[in-house]
Amino acid sequence: MINDKVAVIILNYCSAQDTIRLIKSIEKYEENYHIIVIDNHSEQKDKAILSILDGRYEVIYLEDNTGYAAGNNVGIRRAMELGYEYFLIANSDTEIIYPNTIKNLLVKMKELNASIIGPKMLDASGKLDSGIIIDSKWGRTYRETPEKICRCRSLIGAFLLISKNTIEINGLLPEEYFLYREETDYFIQAYEKGLNIIYNPEITIVHRHGTTTGRVWDYYFNRNTIYFARKVRKTNIFLLGVYHFSKSCYLTLRILCGLDYKKNKKNAIYLMWYGYIDGMLGKTGKNDKVK
């Protein structure tokens, strides 16, 4: 019997093997959940791999890569149409490693009256990877890993249980970012509305940090860090420009000196500075020139 409370939403973009691995871990360790896979316009070979899910789970193929938030929002809307009360949003590069992870998150969510709850994450080697997010006025974020269950302002967005009530109060994920910082924006909006965000280190998953975003990271991460600081933290634009100009100069030197590995140094530096300029100009959404 399918659990009629929780729907699992997995966004896939050129990561079908990861998506299949995650689903197999759910099948191994969990109850029978309704799984909704959103394919964000992957390559045809990726879609062919996903075809093995047809008939067992719901797979929605989008006609364009709409970005992280927009893709997940398709899954959330669909789950709400089907009447689900809770949504487990899981990145394709995560994996369940203990029995009843989702069930235990739901139990703790109800016990603590949480609106959003997330677990402790390990990297592929088993090393402690991430917990909660601390954001600064410059738009940059830092990770902390508390040892006990705690209320927080923001979580890592890779594996989250969100209640329907949270969506009704806080809306869907902000889509203007396209990629990176949208979850932190969403969490802070929820926190400021009094919603209860909980980090639970008693529950553990693996986050393998997929590489499907490729080189576009250098553009979107820098652009959206600036946009986030302008939108959410209301940081003075002049001070923001000086800080990120200095930061970009520093990172450029690190790349040129080989301290930060980049396969294509010239392109990485170009995209980083492109992101800086667009961030200062307030540009958002998908940039079709960045691939």
> Which residues constitute the domain of residue 189?
6-207
Residue 40 CA to residue 31 CA, distance in Å, equals 26
Task: Give the pLDDT confidence score for residue 215 in this predicted structure.
Answer: 73
Same-domain pairing of 192 and 222: no
Task: Give the pLDDT confidence score for residue 202 in this predicted structure.
Answer: 96
CATH of the domain at 141: 3.90.550.10
Same-domain pairing of 177 and 253: no
Same-domain pairing of 203 and 228: no
Task: Give the pLDDT confidence score for residue 213 in this predicted structure.
Answer: 61
Task: Give the pLDDT confidence score for residue 212 in this predicted structure.
Answer: 56
Q: How many CB atoms lie within 10 A of CB 282?
A: 12
pLDDT 10s per residue in the chain (291 long)? 678 899 999 999 999 999 999 999 999 999 899 999 999 999 999 999 999 998 899 999 999 999 999 999 999 999 999 999 999 999 999 999 999 999 999 999 999 999 999 999 999 888 988 889 999 999 999 999 999 999 999 999 999 999 999 999 999 999 999 999 999 999 999 999 999 999 999 999 999 876 556 679 899 999 999 999 999 999 999 999 999 999 999 999 999 999 998 889 999 999 999 999 999 999 999 999 997
Task: Give the pLDDT confidence score for residue 130 in this predicted structure.
Answer: 81
Task: Give the pLDDT confidence score for residue 53 in this predicted structure.
Answer: 93
Same-domain pairing of 10 and 82: yes
Residue 109 is given by DSSP the state H
Residue 57 CA to residue 52 CA, distance in Å, equals 9
Same-domain pairing of 135 and 44: yes
Say which residue the tokens 């800086």 belong to.
276
Per the CB < 8 A criterion, the answer to whether 153 and 135 are in contact is yes
Beta strands in the chain (DSSP E): 6-12, 34-39, 58-61, 86-91, 94-96, 116-122, 128-130, 132-135, 141-144, 150-151, 159-163, 197-207
Task: Give the pLDDT confidence score for residue 263 in this predicted structure.
Answer: 87
Task: Give the pLDDT confidence score for residue 209 in this predicted structure.
Answer: 76
pTM given for the model: 0.94
Confirm whether 27 is domain-assigned: yes
Same-domain pairing of 80 and 129: yes
Smallest CA-to-CA distance from 158 within 203, 206, 190 is with 206
